Each structure stands twice: as structure tokens, then as C-alpha cells.
């Protein structure tokens, strides 16, 4: 099958490298026959077989496990991937360290919300405090589109350097903040930019080294977020008690800076960068117009973006207010922070198991099950038994285990329907949409909580559960669009 080379929409006004119109070929191709070349590598001791198979374009999507193997692996069957080796595993470790800083901070900013709500901003309504963290999420996800596009063209190192500097400076300033506008400038904007510049390079580089095991390896790398989620709440609780708030935040900043340095040293992309000859202003404009409107015309990618938005909002709502939920039910600050750590302890096996199983039974299949189960866990534990300490810990373990698949599999599901060399751009586009969802969802939860009563917090739980349940439904729709209604297909 010959593919025609067509530029992206943005190339009409700005300088863009030429891209392949692969979505038209896959989704809207007329039902004509084509020759599909596949090389099957058998187990040790068996010969390598070259198989030429003539198949219909209508049968490439949504059949049995064997027939949908190419669909399961995604859009890059024509590329070769190392699938291992010292360099590949070094990159995974570098990504792991970078995501300790980026996702670890994202997973545990609830400790900052709980502390400032009871101290610096104790006289500020919870709905107003919520804007500090919703703007942080908005800025973080919004800058992902810039970082993803830059990563596609220039590699991972510079976005990591920018992200590391912004995070370090923002956290150092956060230690001296006493007013809400100061927290917005230092944490929401500076640290948000730093976090947004880190995600696409860290996961995008791993995707360049693995294909068949991409889900598992991305899960290993993103375990850095769980490690940060375990260590940081315990560490900060001790630091808040033994040193001042200001020095606790500064020590936090130095630890995050160290993680970024390791990531910068170890991470290096494998695929060639996309380059184009253009002027400075055209280059800047190309970043502004890098939103992938063409990709959103495809229903599978559109529903994946919406599903990702609902998943991120559901998880971040709970992550922001989980500690405060415990405090509202009369438990100590130590117990509240411990619950956050327990959540991420449960998240580690959740990430690994879901990552491994996603490569076996399908990435979409796993994320559909885990998001729906997450909503069930929240409703059946916190609503009837939220005032019991044992129920809080049971919820933390189960919620962490179920949502452990969310962060690693969101980019993997996006990558499965995208070309590897375009992953950074599509990842950024997806999180550009997520940004607006997060900007709205967290303040809505803050308004639902209201005066901080137990009923308000339980209503917040319902809001989070319904949101993440909607994510599972949207992923199911995206899968059905892709496999043409075959719900039980491996995908």
C-alpha cells in the first residue's frame, strides 16, 4: 500500500516538517486488497519465518488475537525497536528519575494543599484555595503541547533542563509564600511549567526504545511517580515537624533538582529528529499552531482525549483532597499523610501488573477495567465507611492499585493509535485538552466541599467516582470505534 505524503494543516501558515497522512490510510481507506509483510520471530531453536499475507483492509481492525496483533502493537509495525539492551534500560532509569520529580510532585501536592489550607490560607475558602492547584494542573498540562512538539524536533534534553530549572526556582519561592497570589505565581505557574515540560520527553524517549513491551516499560518508568508519592508525604511530615515549613519546601526543591539532573544525563532519544528550514517567527508560530486538529477528526483519538481528561480529573480530585478528607473526619495530619503514601504503595504493583497485562490482553482493555473498578472502590468504601480508619486504609490500597494503571497507560493508549515519531505532539495535544478539564474540575470539587463538612467531602468522593467511571466508558467507546464494535477484541 502506497501512502501519499501530505503536510499537516499548520504547514499552510507556518513552517512544519512534512508528515505522513496515516490516519486516512488506516481508517478511511477504501476496501481494496493490499499486501501485508510480516516477519515472525519464533522462540530460540526455531527458524525465522517470512510470511506474506494478502488481506483486506476491512479485516485489519478488530479480529481475534492473532489477526489483531498488528493493531494491538499500534501504528509502527514498519519500524524496528531495540526492545532491550544497556542503552534502553539506562533510558528507562533516567525516565524513572525524571518522573519521580514530575509525577511524584503531581501525586503528592495534596500535602501542600492540606498544610496551606490549615496555616497560610486558613481564612481563605476551600473553593478559592482549589484554584491554586487547578491552575497548577492547567499550566502543567497546557505546556505539554509545547514540550511534546519541541521533543519531536529537538530531543529530550532541553525540555528537561527548562523543566528542572522552573521546578527548582518555583519550589524555592514557594517556601516563602504566605498569600494566595504568591502561591499562584510560584507553585501554579513556575512549578506547573516545570512539570509540563518534563512528561512528554520522559515517556516519549521510552517509547522510542520499546514497542512490544512499551506498556510494561512505560509502567516501570512511571513507577517513579509512585515512589515519589510514597516517600514525599512521609518526608514532608517529618520535615514540617522538625524544621520550618520554608526549609521543608527548600529541601524538597533540592531533591527534585537532583532527580532532574540524573534524568538529563541519562536520557537520549533514538529516532532522528524532525527538522525544517524556517525563520525564527515562523518557528515560534508553529508551536502555537501545533494543536492537532487533524487528528481530532478521527473518532478514536477524539474519544481517547476525552477519556484521558476524565481519568486525570478523577484521579487528581481525589489526590488533592484525600488528606483533607481524613482531616475532616477527625484524623491527625500524620495519618492523613500516611494515607497518601499507602495509596502510592498500592500503586506500584498496580502499575507493574497492569503494564504487563496490557501487553498481554490489550492496553485499552486494561484501562477500561481499572477505571471502572476505581469508581466502584470509591463509592463502596468512602461513602458508607469514610469515618472508619480501617476503611480509609482499605480504600487507599485499592484506589492506589486500580488507578496505578492510569498514568502509565494514558500515554501508551495514545501511542497505540499514533506514529512513534508523532507521539510527543499527540501526547501534548491530548494534555492540552486535559488542561481545561482540570482547570474546571478541581474548583468544582472545592465548591462541592464548601465549608469542609463530612457531607461535603463525601459529595466530593461521588464527583471523583463519577468522573473516573466516565473515563472508562469513553475508553470503551474509543475501542469500539477502532475495532468496529468488537468489544472483546484484544486491543
Q: What per-residue confidence (pLDDT) applies to 31?
A: 36
Name the CA radius of gyration of the chain, rounded.
22
Give the C-alpha separation, 105 to 64, whole Å: 41
Q: What per-residue confidence (pLDDT) applies to 272?
A: 56
Phi, psi of 120 (to 5 degrees): -60, -40
**Class of 86-290+298-483 in CATH:** mainly alpha
Q: Is the dihedral of CA 168, 170, 172, 175 positive or negative?
A: negative
Write out the three cell numbers for 72. Answer: 494491538
**122-159 pLDDT tens trace:** 888 888 888 998 999 899 888 877 777 777 777 788 88
Residue 186: C-alpha distances to residues 159, 190, 233 (Å): 19, 5, 20
What DSSP string describes 48-74?
-EEEEEEEEGGGSSS--TTTTHHHHH-
The C-alpha angle with vertex 372 and arms to 369 and 375, in degrees rounded to 5, equals 145
Q: Which residues of 397-408 are buried (b: 16+ CB within 10 A; e: fewer)?
A: bbbbbbbbbbbb
Residues 6+ apart with CB under 8 A from 123: none
Residue 128: C-alpha distances to residues 49, 245, 310, 447 (Å): 63, 22, 22, 9
Q: What per-residue confidence (pLDDT) applies to 52?
A: 28
Residue 354: C-alpha distances to residues 69, 91, 100, 409 (Å): 19, 21, 19, 8
Task: Tell me the CA end-to-end span of the chain in Å, nearest whole number.
Answer: 23
Give the C-alpha separation, 203 to 13, whole Å: 30
Q: Give pLDDT tens digits along the chain (491 positions).
A: 444 333 334 333 334 443 333 333 333 333 333 333 334 444 444 433 333 233 222 332 233 333 334 444 444 454 566 666 788 888 889 989 998 988 888 878 888 888 888 888 888 888 888 899 899 989 988 887 777 777 777 778 888 999 999 999 999 999 888 889 999 999 999 999 998 888 778 877 887 777 777 667 777 887 788 788 888 988 988 888 888 889 999 999 999 999 999 999 988 776 655 555 566 666 666 666 566 677 777 888 889 899 999 999 999 899 889 988 998 888 888 898 899 889 988 888 887 787 777 778 888 888 999 999 999 999 999 999 988 999 999 999 999 898 877 777 887 788 787 776 666 677 777 877 888 998 999 999 989 998 888 899 999 999 999 999 999 999 998 888 887 766 766 66
Q: Minimal CA–CA distance to 160: which of 286, 257, 290?
A: 257
Count of C-beta atoms within a 10 Å radius of residue 2: 5
Give the C-alpha separation, 184 to 319, whole Å: 19
Q: What per-residue confidence (pLDDT) applies to 38?
A: 38
Write out the three cell numbers for 267. Answer: 536520557
Domain spans, the chain: 86-290+298-483
Q: What per-residue confidence (pLDDT) applies to 288?
A: 62
Give the C-alpha separation, 188 to 198, whole Å: 15
Q: What per-residue confidence (pLDDT) applies to 78?
A: 47
Residue 397: C-alpha distances to residues 344, 354, 390, 393 (Å): 8, 15, 11, 6
Amino acid at each position: 500500500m502506497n501512502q501519499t505524503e501530505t503536510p499537516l494543516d499548520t504547514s499552510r501558515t507556518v513552517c512544519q516538517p512534512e508528515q505522513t497522512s496515516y490516519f486516512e490510510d488506516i481508517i478511511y481507506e477504501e476496501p481494496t486488497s493490499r499486501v501485508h509483510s510480516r516477519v515472525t520471530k519464533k522462540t530460540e531453536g526455531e527458524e525465522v519465518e517470512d510470511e506474506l499475507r494478502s488481506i483486506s483492509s476491512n479485516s485489519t481492525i478488530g479480529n481475534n488475537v492473532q489477526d489483531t496483533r498488528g493493531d494491538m502493537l499500534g501504528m509502527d509495525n514498519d519500524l524496528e525497536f531495540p526492545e532491550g539492551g544497556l542503552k534502553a534500560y539506562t533510558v528507562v532509569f533516567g525516565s524513572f528519575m525524571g518522573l519521580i520529580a514530575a509525577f511524584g510532585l503531581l501525586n503528592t501536592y495534596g500535602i501542600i494543599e492540606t498544610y496551606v489550607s490549615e496555616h497560610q490560607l486558613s481564612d481563605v475558602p476551600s473553593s478559592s484555595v482549589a484554584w491554586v492547584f487547578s491552575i497548577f494542573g492547567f499550566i502543567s498540562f497546557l505546556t505539554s503541547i509545547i514540550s511534546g512538539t519541541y521533543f519531536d524536533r529537538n530531543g529530550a534534553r532541553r525540555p528537561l533542563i527548562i523543566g528542572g530549572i522552573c521546578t527548582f526556582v518555583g519550589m524555592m519561592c514557594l517556601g516563602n509564600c504566605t498569600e494566595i497570589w504568591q502561591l499562584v505565581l510560584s507553585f501554579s505557574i513556575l512549578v506547573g511549567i516545570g512539570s509540563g515540560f518534563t512528561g512528554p520527553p520522559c515517556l516519549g524517549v521510552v517509547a522510542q526504545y520499546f514497542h512490544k513491551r512499551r506498556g510494561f516499560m512505560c509502567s516501570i518508568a512511571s513507577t517513579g511517580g509512585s515512589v515519589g508519592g510514597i516517600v514525599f508525604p512521609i518526608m514532608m511530615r517529618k520535615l514540617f515537624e522538625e524544621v520550618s515549613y520554608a526549609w521543608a519546601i527548600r529541601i524538597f526543591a533540592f531533591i527534585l533538582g537532583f532527580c532532574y539532573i540524573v534524568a538529563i544525563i541519562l536520557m537520549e532519544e533514538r529516532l532522528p529528529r524532525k527538522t525544517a528550514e524556517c525563520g525564527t517567527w515562523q518557528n515560534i508560530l508553529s508551536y502555537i499552531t501545533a494543536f492537532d486538529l487533524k487528528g481530532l477528526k478521527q473518532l478514536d483519538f477524539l474519544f481517547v482525549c476525552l477519556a484521558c481528561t476524565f481519568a486525570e480529573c478523577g484521579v487528581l480530585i481525589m489526590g488533592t483532597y484525600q488528606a483533607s478528607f481524613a482531616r475532616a473526619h477527625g484524623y491527625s495530619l500524620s495519618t492523613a499523610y500516611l494515607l497518601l503514601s499507602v495509596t502510592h504503595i498500592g500503586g506500584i504493583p498496580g502499575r507493574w501488573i497492569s503494564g504487563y497485562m496490557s501487553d498481554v490482553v490489550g492496553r485499552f482493555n486494561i484501562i477500561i477495567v481499572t477505571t471502572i473498578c476505581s469508581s466502584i472502590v470509591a463509592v463502596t468504601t468512602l461513602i458508607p465507611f469514610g469515618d472508619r480508619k480501617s476503611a480509609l486504609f482499605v480504600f487507599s490500597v485499592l484506589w492506589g492499585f486500580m488507578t496505578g494503571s492510569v498514568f502509565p497507560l494514558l500515554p501508551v493508549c495514545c501511542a497505540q493509535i499514533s506514529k512513534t515519531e508523532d507521539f510527543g505532539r499527540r501526547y501534548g495535544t491530548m494534555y492540552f485538552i486535559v488542561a481545561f478539564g482540570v482547570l474546571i474540575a478541581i474548583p468544582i470539587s472545592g465548591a462541592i466541599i464548601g465549608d469542609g463538612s463530612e457531607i461535603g467531602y463525601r459529595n466530593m468522593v461521588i464527583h471523583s467516582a463519577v468522573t473516573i467511571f466516565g473515563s472508562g466508558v469513553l475508553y470503551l467507546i474509543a475501542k469500539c470505534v477502532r475495532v468496529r464494535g468488537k468489544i472483546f477484541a484484544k486491543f
